[in-house]
Chains A and B, each alone.
Chain A
Amino acid sequence: MTKLTQWLWGLALLGSAWAALTMGALGLELPFPCQEVLWPLPAYLLVSAGCYALGTVGYRVATFHDCEDAARELQSQILEARADLARRGLRF
């Protein structure tokens, strides 16, 4: 099963469960407070997912490690390399 079909299945399952419960299709009479929460649940979950995504990406960007040392080390190694290679006969 591809990732796409997994997602479609998952959404279909949850979507139909939600629809069934909110429309009362199964003949279940849910208490009003439950229905109040259930009805906007998809929209609420979508917004929460969006916030989670923004928060996570924001956190990861903020903690993205900057390798200053690596760049400096590379620069000095480049000089060392050029000198050594010239000694070994490389014509740049």
Chain B
Amino acid sequence: MASPGASRGASAATAAAASPRPPQGRSSRRDKYSVLLPTYNERENLPLIVWLLVKSFSESSINYEIIIIDDGSPDGTREVAEQLEKIYGPDRIVSRRRHSFLCGGTAYIHGIKHATGNYVIIMDADLSHHPKFIPEFIRKQKEGNFDIVSGTRYKGNGGVYGWDLKRKIISRGANFITQILLRPGASDLTGSFRLYRKEVLQKLIEKCVSKGYVFQMEMIVRARQLNYTIGEVPISFVDRVYGESKLGGNEIVSFLKGLLTLFATT
């Protein structure tokens, strides 16, 4: 059983079991942060996001590892991941693949098995989330001893780049309905840029049943049910993908279905 923080040279192949720790502020020298990056066809963006992560962590002297979980991308993402592992070392980059494309929590279930850190950060690999916010997440977490820190686009100086009026209306409208119906205590429920204590993430993944957007919402709702504390940090979301994939009727319908399911069952 690898103890968190102590195993810089730990082989990536050892499955690290979660060792429970008391939720008190502790010296950051013993904290290690595992970033879970599920990827699908991110051959172009993967090296860039990894470079930005390495830069942010090194500049703040934070102990970290990056776990890349590729969903069998046909564009060669896996090869790029392996090159990055060689460049930065296997104690910093762990690259794994899954053999089928499944949504929602299953990438995290797979990734968390290989995480040797005591905190886990989830984020998108398409450069919409910027690693420069991670030290702020960490600071916020220490400040309030939170179980979860969630990046929010809707509060403080959080915001978005690359969205037209229609997209903004849909986003704010959906968030408004969500706040009214679920009263979740967090301002950005569909966001996927978050920091979790590892044992909290494991517990929540076990309980969640939905996929996609709704999975992220369900995580926060379940966290509230289990009385976990949630802190928020404003982030900027740079959407370079929106131009190619407009928010279609299908996505809106499945979002509403998921929202109503959560409304009726939690």
Query: Does A71 make an interface contact (CB < 8 A)?
Result: yes
B147-205 with Cβ < 8 A to chain A: 154, 157-163, 165, 168-169, 171-173, 176, 181-183
Residue numbers in B under 8 Å from A92 (CB-CB): 47
* A65 with B160: CB separation less than 8 A: yes
A61/B236 contact (C-beta < 8 A), A82-B48, A85-B47, A90-B87 known:
no
Instruction: Give the number of residue pairs across the A-B interface with Cβ within 8 Å.
Output: 81
Complex: how many Å from CA A71 to CA B127? Answer: 10
Within the complex, the shortest CB–CB distance from B131 to chain A, in Å, comes to 10
Residue numbers in A under 8 Å from B173 (CB-CB): 57
Number of interface residues of A (CB under 8 A): 27
A25-42 with Cβ < 8 A to chain B: none
Complex: how many Å from CA A37 to CA B176? Answer: 29
A81/B172 contact (C-beta < 8 A), A2-B263, A2-B265, A4-B264 known:
no
* B172 with A67: CB separation less than 8 A: no
* A90 with B172: CB separation less than 8 A: no
Complex: how many Å from CA A71 to CA B239? Answer: 9
A81/B264 contact (C-beta < 8 A), A61-B169, A64-B160, A68-B161 known:
no
A74-92 with Cβ < 8 A to chain B: 74, 77-78, 81-82, 84-85, 88-92
Within the complex, the shortest CB–CB distance from B6 to chain A, in Å, comes to 28
CB-based nearest B residue for A81: B51
Residue numbers in B under 8 Å from A65 (CB-CB): 157-160, 236
A67/B161 contact (C-beta < 8 A), A61-B172, A81-B51 known:
yes
Within the complex, the shortest CB–CB distance from A91 to chain B, in Å, comes to 7
CB-based nearest B residue for A68: B161
Complex: how many Å from CA A88 to CA B55? Answer: 14
CB-based nearest A residue for B237: A67
* A57 with B169: CB separation less than 8 A: yes
Residue numbers in A under 8 Å from B162 (CB-CB): 71
* B130 with A64: CB separation less than 8 A: no
Q: 27 pairs across A/B with beta carbons < 8 Å?
A: A2-B263, A2-B265, A3-B182, A3-B262, A3-B263, A4-B263, A4-B264, A57-B169, A57-B172, A57-B173, A61-B169, A64-B160, A64-B171, A65-B158, A66-B160, A67-B159, A67-B237, A71-B161, A71-B238, A74-B127, A74-B238, A77-B52, A78-B48, A78-B127, A85-B51, A89-B83, A90-B87
Beyond A57-B169, A60-B154, A61-B169, list 11 extra A-B contacts (CB 8 Å).
A3-B183, A64-B163, A64-B172, A65-B236, A67-B159, A67-B161, A74-B127, A74-B238, A77-B52, A81-B47, A82-B47
Point out residues on A near B: beta carbons under 8 Å.
2-4, 53, 56-57, 60-61, 64-68, 70-71, 74, 77-78, 81-82, 84-85, 88-92
Point out residues on B near A: beta carbons under 8 Å.
47-48, 51-52, 80, 83-84, 87, 127, 130, 154, 157-163, 165, 168-169, 171-173, 176, 181-183, 236-238, 262-266
Which 7 pairs between the two chains have the least Cβ-Cβ distance? A65-B159, A67-B236, A70-B236, A81-B51, A71-B161, A67-B161, A4-B264
